[in-house]
Amino acid sequence: MNLKKARPGDLDPDFGDNGQVIFTSPDVLQFTPWAINVDSEQRIYVAGHALRTGVGNQYFCMRLTSTGQPDKDFGQAGYVFGTFGDNISHQVGEVLVQKNDNKPLLISTFGQTKAVMRLNLDGSRDLSYGKDGVAIIPTGASMRSDEVETAASGTGGTSHSTLLSDGKLLLIAEVWVGSSVHHSLVVRLNTDGTLDNQFGEQGITRVRHPDFDGTLLLGSLELENENENEMKYLLSGAVLKQGQHDRALFMRLLPSGKLDTSFADEGYKVVLSEFRTGFYPDKLILQTNHRLLGVGHTYDARDAGLLISREMDGSENIQFNGGRPLLESNGALRNKWTNALIQNDGKILVHGSTLNAQSGEDKNAVARFTDDGQLDTSFGISFPVRQAYRPAAWFTGNTVLFLGTIKVDETKYVHCIARGVIA
């Protein structure tokens, strides 16, 4: 890759068409991408749903080469379309890639069920997974559609689910009753797509904080407990109560799926907002010294990018912003952090969208913070691509991949994936 002719903030000229790839297929009226992932061969997966002529809505998965060219060895000209089955949503909210064989997993959202499909490397359905290639997880109640823009939807763009070190899959599903969250599900699937009966009740743990009306889980992370030589599952999200601002939630589960009551306050850590706004840590990553960093956004009175750093026991990390949640708006009307990366020196790169007060456009942007939560004012980067409907990003060394929308004529905008230079 030749980045000498490109500067930070530019689109990478060695990717696609001057840094971007527009989704195109002869029979597709509209693409709505939701998720990005990259495999060990640096092939890029983009997934979402598409409106097809004469067919209607279906999921789509596209594979690109590392230089942004459609991979002709995958599906038809790089695209795969289809449905999960009867009464299962066509919407793909996540795409994950197995570490051992690079097979992609497509995860659906919305409706009465959650489903996972595994594809072979040529794009065909892997019939050895689940039933005819699809693992189906009934939830027993309606699941929230992320197509509705509310406080808790359209927020992450990165995977809520986690591929575990043993090859199993940890899933999160939000179950809704009416207009408010009733509870969340944490599901563990075996490598063949069957429910893992060693976890929770027949593979499913239902989570609801007893002191709140609703519990919304958004991020997950597997972590080895060195003292006990076992893997535990860290989860982030929000708790909701009628008439109050939503509060950030961190919690930890044991490998059995039971609540780890040694974490924080009997297994839960609720973080209050002193800014009269809702907190939504959509993604969890590890900082230096094994500290937890919740990455996301606020909502309501002050829309800003949100970072919350905690110690492994759930207590405040006083080394980070004095232990307080860090909100960053940088003068914008709205900021949201989508993904983050810890650099070798401990500094934190965050990707997100920022709404410019003058132009009124959401731009894709990258900011950098020190390990103790100080904004690096010498670094801020924005890219000449508007935010996509569903923000998603993937850091790739000196560049970042992200979803966006671009204008193709005076009135029409189309979705794309772009790669921007950050160093």
Enumerate domains of the chain plus CATH numbers.
20-421 (2.130.10.10)
pLDDT tens readout for residues 294-348: 999 998 756 789 999 999 999 999 999 999 999 987 665 578 898 999 999 999 9
- Whole-number Å distance between alpha carbons of 119 and 126: 5
pLDDT recorded at residue 141: 59
pLDDT at residue number 362: 78
pLDDT of residue 134: 95
Higher pLDDT, 136 or 140: 136
For residues 415 and 403, what is the distance between their CA atoms, to the nearest angstrom? Answer: 7
Token pair of 218, please?
């958004």
In which band, very low, low, confident or very high, does the pLDDT at 122 lie, cut at 50, 70 and 90?
very high
Whether the model clears a pTM of 0.85, i.e. scores above it, the answer is yes
Given a cut of 90, whether residue 388 has pLDDT beyond it is no
Residue ranges with strand state E in 311-380: 326-328, 334-342, 348-355, 362-369
61-70, 155-164, 406-415: least confident range: 155-164
Q: Name which of 122, 80, 117, 69 is nearest 96 in CA terms.
A: 117
> Tens digit of pLDDT for each residue in 7-23?
999 999 999 999 999 99
Q: What is the pLDDT of residues 50-86, one digit of tens each?
A: 999 998 999 999 999 999 999 999 999 999 999 998 7
CB 155 within 8 A of CB 219: no
Per-residue pLDDT, averaged over 354-383, amounts to 85
Q: What is the pLDDT of residues 254-267, one digit of tens each?
A: 999 999 999 999 99
- Given a cut of 70, whether residue 226 has pLDDT beyond it is no
What's the pLDDT score for residue 146? 44
pLDDT tens-digit profile of 174-211? 887 666 557 899 999 999 999 999 999 999 999 999 99
- Nearest one of 119, 125, 134 to 89, comparing CA atoms: 134
| Whether residue 229 has pLDDT greater than 60 | yes
Sheet holding 268-271, edge to edge: 214-225, 230-240, 247-253, 268-271
- What would the pLDDT profile of 101-113 be if each residue is shown by its tens digit? 999 999 987 666 7
Q: What percentage of the chain has pLDDT greater than the value 90?
A: 64
Q: Provide the pLDDT for residue 159.
A: 65
The pLDDT value recorded for residue 89 is 76
Q: Which of 301, 300, 305 is nearest to 362 (CA)?
A: 305
* pLDDT, tens only, 334-351: 788 989 999 999 999 999
